[in-house]
Amino acid sequence: MTNPRRLVLAVLLAPLPLALAAPPPKESLRPTPPAATATDATLAEGRRLTQALYRGELAEIWKRLSPAARSLAEGPSRLELLRTTWKNTFGKETKVLDEKTDALAGSRRYLRIATFDKAKTPVAIPWNFDRNGEISALGVRPEAKEAPAPHADEPPKVTLRLPFDGEWTVWWGGRTVWTNFHAVNANQRFAADFFIVKDGRTFAGSGTKNEEFFAFGKNVLAPTSGTVVAVEGGRPDGVPGQLDREAKPEGNFVVLDLGSNVWAFFLHLKSGSPVVKPGQKVNAGDVLAQVGASGRGLEPSLHVHLQDAPETEKGSGWPLVFSNVLRNGTSVPSAEPVRGERFAPRP
């Protein structure tokens, strides 16, 4: 439902949840990215900032925050509140369980998983950095867990083409929280967010206008035949780099009934762009709308997910499997999108 930097900005720097009594996640559910090394600059930076946070050295952290993160923090005092809440809730770090880093289209991430003396479950300390090296997200919170997935081993009984033409990059996608923050939500358990990346960037120019983003205005296509059940196109597009906390999270959308108890959701569509109406029949490849920047986001993106109910926030997600695709330039008969992969329709 969100773009690459949206959720972390919305939930980090907020009062911390106290869900500490839940059982720890199974080791089999832990993400398994390439191990970070001591020579990883992001690893070193994340470690240094974490220690600064522990020591209460907040002036440096405040100076490093991006404009969007500062607007959410509202002032340096909010950082002190974050630290005080963390200290009272979790106590002192006792052991580092895991560290992860990655980079995509100019952004970087560091995630530290550790035990604390007052916490019954592992605690996550994430740091996100934007293209300018500014901190776009930080926090101290219980480690997120993947939502139950009753359809995990049950692909939907529909064959799907990609909902776009050309090559796109997966920003959020996959079956773990590390590669796909949507995985914490049952209905969006296998959702994916797509962007267009060229030369390591998602936009040309200054990136201050939606029209400068490569994805903005691109056609969103029906992945197979179905019936339109819901459409919203009257919500405004957001301004790049500015998070509208009053906006409906999903923005403009189209929902399709694909049959076989499968509904497809397409979110964050361009204002005024949907060209279909409820009750209309569509075929694979038909234009539904255009990619936009509506909802709570920082840049244009296309969110896609399948679920077993027609209402948003209800039901359970189906695995998002596309057929006849080029994945990272290689032809494959079918594939699920995973963060960092490039997807395009096979000719």
The tens digit of pLDDT for each residue in 31-40 reads 334 444 434 8
Q: What is the largest CA-CA distance in the chain?
A: 60
Query: Higher-confidence residue: 47 or 33?
Result: 47
Residue 86, domain CATH: 3.10.450.50
Residue 103 — pLDDT band, cuts 50, 70, 90? Answer: very high
Please provide the average confidence, as pLDDT, over all residues in the chain. 89
Provide the domain count of the chain. Answer: 2
Confidence bin at 306 (pLDDT 50/70/90): very high
Q: Is residue 157 part of a domain?
A: no
Domain identity same for 317 and 200: yes
pLDDT at residue number 216: 98
Is 153 inside any structural domain?
no
Residue 246 has pLDDT above 80, yes or no: yes
**Percent share of the chain, pLDDT over 70:** 89
In a domain, 305, yes or no: yes
Residues 70 and 178 placed together within one structural domain of the fold = no
The residues, any chain, with a CB within 8 Å of residue 50's CB and separated by 6 or more, are 112, 125, 127
The answer to the question of residue 151 being in a domain is no
Its sign, for the CA torsion 202, 108, 11, 242, is negative
Mean pLDDT of all residues in 219-225: 98
Q: Report helix, strand or coil for 63.
A: helix
Where does a domain end: 91, 108, 142? 142
Centre a 10 Å sphere on the Cβ of residue 139 and count the other Cβ atoms it contains.
19
Q: Residue 315 pLDDT > 70, yes or no? A: yes
Which residue, of 142, 157, 179, is where some domain finishes? 142
- Is 326 among the domain residues? yes
**Is a pLDDT exceeding 50 seen at residue 20?**
no
Q: Is the pLDDT of residue 28 over 60?
A: no
154 within domain boundaries:
no
Mean pLDDT, residues 196-212: 95
Instruction: Say whether pLDDT at 82 is over 80.
Output: yes
Residues 246 and 339 in one domain: yes
Q: How far out from the chain centre does Cα 72 lie?
A: 18
Q: Please say if the pLDDT value at position 23 is more than 80.
A: no
b/e code 202-229 from CB counts within 10 Å (16+ = b): bbeeeeeebebbbbbebbbbbbbebbbb
Residues 129 and 188 in one domain: no
* pLDDT the model gives residue 244: 84
State the pTM of this model. 0.87
Of 142, 158, 178, the one marking the end of a domain is 142
Q: Are residues 135 and 49 in the same domain?
A: yes
Same domain, 196 and 323: yes
Phi and psi dihedrals of 130, rounded to 5? -90, -175
Tell which wins on pLDDT, 28 or 301: 301
Q: Is the pLDDT of residue 147 over 70?
A: yes
- Domain containing 66 equals 6-142
Asked whether residue 11 carries a pLDDT value surpassing 60, the answer given is no
Same domain, 194 and 238: yes
pLDDT at residue 75 in the model? 81
Tokens linked to 20: 């500490």
Q: Is residue 285 part of a domain?
A: yes
Q: Are residues 118 and 188 in the same domain?
A: no
The answer to whether residue 28 is domain-embedded is: yes
Please calculate the CA angle 182-187-192 and round it to the nearest 5 degrees: 40
Alpha helix (H) residue ranges in the chain: 6-11, 41-55, 58-64, 67-73, 76-90
Question: Is pLDDT above 60 for 27?
Answer: no
What CATH number is attached to the domain comprising 217? 2.70.70.10
- Mark whether 197 and 341 lie in a shared domain: yes
Q: Are residues 116 and 223 both part of a single domain?
A: no
What's the rounded Cα separation, in Å, for the pair 79 and 61? 9
Assess whether 15 and 68 both reside in one domain: yes
173 and 321 together in one domain: yes
